[in-house]
Amino acid sequence: MSGDISAETEIAGQDWTSDQLDIIVADYFDMLGNDLSHQPYNKAEHNRRVQVLTHRSRGSIERKHQNISAVLKELGMPWIFGYKPLNNYQTAIIDAIDRRLSVSTESVDRPPIAPEMESLESLFVAPPPLTEDPIPPRLRRIVRKFDPTERDRRNRNLGRAGEEFVLEVERRRLTDGGRADLSRRVLWVSNEEGDGAGYDILSFSLVGMERLLEIKTTNGAAKTPFFVSRNELDLSNERRTDWQLYRVHTFSQTPRIFTLSPPLDQFVHLTPEAFRASF
């Protein structure tokens, strides 16, 4: 494309400088902010702007955008779906993202916008496999610094939006299944009665059996960790046939849901995170 910098204009093998990385990370976060706000933007124009500022080729910039996506995905943060995560990144890009997030997380912590309801068939996906993926030490440190589990827990607007979304999903599922009578009985328990019940939504199967749904929502990827309270875990074990966890992920962009049924430790690693101190 006219105006693009060709690969030949770059010095072969030259690493990106810290200033160049800061430029491309800032540009990526500008696009991501538009993405999460459902505002249009022109990727090609952004690429040309970064070419001028960094003297890097279009392809080199696109690959670096993919590297940024890979790091944000590991951080449990939203990323630009058009830049498929590319994992062979260098430590320097982690440092640049750290610098950006240390100044502001506004781009990734925007108030959630209620997504459009898709077909129920496309919403529900299989849970990710139970694995032990190694994380590079530098990335592990930044994951701890911007703990996605704690960030999602504190984000009450996100949690509430996810619960309301599932509430509508359940009502639609029952209505589509010919049980409008049960759809009208679906109750948003955490909203009506507050937290502490061990589940968020009371729903029903098509034959009228109670379903106790605990909703966990993130803007990050399917494998983003989440907290489970002792009360939720106890109830899941007491009412194994009724209780179910709905994990809503990539919520602000293209929401998807996978479900987990007790016992939870067949699907996830359960790690104690806190201790009660008493006298």
Name the nearest CA neighbour of 135 among 81, 102, 94, 183.
94
Query: 164: how many CB neighbours lie within 10 A of its CB?
Result: 17
Q: Taking all residues of the chain, what is their mean pLDDT, rounded to a whole number? A: 90
Q: How confident is the model at residue 4 (pLDDT cuts 50, 70, 90)?
A: low
Q: Which long-range contacts (CB under 8 A, 24 or more apart) does 46-54 make?
A: 47/4, 48/3, 48/4, 50/23, 50/24, 51/3, 51/4, 51/5, 53/20, 53/23, 54/16, 54/20, 54/23, 54/24
Contact (Cβ atoms closer than 8 angstroms) between residue 143 and residue 135:
yes
pLDDT score of 218 more than 60: yes
pLDDT, position 13: 62
Q: Where are the domains of the chain?
A: 7-103, 120-266
pLDDT score of 207 more than 60: yes
Q: Whole-prediction pTM value?
A: 0.88
Tell me the average pLDDT across 140-169. Answer: 92
pLDDT, position 189: 98
Q: What is the pLDDT of residues 91-131, one digit of tens each?
A: 999 999 999 999 988 888 877 777 778 789 899 999 998 87
